[in-house]
A = this chain, B = another copy of it.
Amino acid sequence: MFSPIKNTKLYEQVIEQIKDMIAKGILKKGDKLPSERELVDHLQVSRTSIREALRALQIMGLIECRQGEGNFISQSFEHSFFEPLSIMFMLQETNPEEIIEVRKVIEVETAAIAAKKITEEELESLEILIKAFKNSTDENDNVKIDKKFHYEIAQASRNFIILNILNAISSLIDSFIKDARKKILTDEKNREVLAMQHEEIYNALKKGDSKKAAEAMRKHLDFANEYMIK
């Protein structure tokens, strides 16, 4: 299962061995990792190196530490890219426009992919969100509904890498462009425009029309982005 480790940069090798077990299918999503003590025995490195490796995996969101229970491989990876992305974002002195540009780059094409893969159930769920958005006048609720609408379309693309990148981008938007989503929704007229645009996207997805779905998403994001950057 494990081989004892010899070289320098021990924590890297611990990670490599954990990765190797994942690659071989020995460790799967949700599985419990061996205890720190067991890892020390198996890999024959110091407890410090083991802990460094585990902490790094934890910070990246790839493993979870449950108090009194031990370390588990995460079930979902929503946090995995956010930490490095957010630190890099600040270091590069990136302007918020870049985040919004990335969101557009990914979501437009994702809508096109989703149009080919979306299920009846997923369409129904989008329909419910569209109605809820129209009926609610609470900005905070509408922010949540809007996020869910976009999230479900990304999910319908069946591409988990895209989904995870979009999650990270979404967290970046939330933390660096504070209240951006709320700003646009405080205006009654905007809410109507956005509701109409959501419907356009929905109709294109329902028809399985990739080109129209991409166009509708582009229009929608261009409209929303104007408020984000202001």
Q: Which A residues are closer than 8 A to B by beta carbons?
A: 11-12, 15, 19, 22-23, 28-29, 48, 51-53, 55-62, 73-74, 77, 80-81, 83-92, 94, 98-99, 101-102, 104-106, 108-110, 113, 159-162, 164-165, 169
Partner among B12, B92, B94, B159 whose Cβ is within 8 Å of the Cβ of A59: B12
Q: Is the CB of A162 within 8 A of B102?
A: yes
**Which of chain B's residues have a CB closer than 8 A to the CB of A160?**
88, 92, 94, 98
Q: Is the CB of A60 within 8 A of B83?
A: yes
**Closest chain B CB from A175 CB (angstroms):** 10
Partner among B52, B113, B161 whose Cβ is within 8 Å of the Cβ of A99: B161
A109 to B108, CA, bound (A): 9
- A-B residue pairs in contact (CB < 8 Å), sample of 6: A52-B52, A60-B83, A62-B91, A74-B91, A77-B88, A108-B109
Q: Is the CB of A105 within 8 A of B110?
A: yes
Q: Is the CB of B91 within 8 A of A29?
A: yes
**Which of chain B's residues have a CB closer than 8 A to the CB of A169?**
161
Q: Is the CB of A88 within 8 A of B80?
A: yes
Query: Known pairs A101-B159, A102-B165. 5 more at Cβ < 8 A?
Result: A12-B59, A22-B91, A29-B91, A56-B58, A105-B106
Q: Is the CB of B161 within 8 A of A89?
A: yes
Q: Is the CB of A161 within 8 A of B85?
A: yes
Q: Is the CB of A87 within 8 A of B62?
A: yes
A86 to B60, CA, bound (A): 12
Q: Is the CB of A98 within 8 A of B56?
A: no
**Which of chain B's residues have a CB closer than 8 A to the CB of A87?**
19, 22, 57, 60, 62
Q: Is the CB of B80 within 8 A of A60?
A: no
**Closest chain B CB from A220 CB (angstroms):** 15
Q: Is the CB of B61 within 8 A of A77?
A: no
Q: Is the CB of A113 within 8 A of B109?
A: no
A12 to B106, CA, bound (A): 30
**Closest chain B CB from A81 CB (angstroms):** 6
**Closest chain B CB from A99 CB (angstroms):** 7
**Which of chain B's residues have a CB closer than 8 A to the CB of A58?**
56
A137 to B224, CA, bound (A): 49
A100 to B108, CA, bound (A): 17
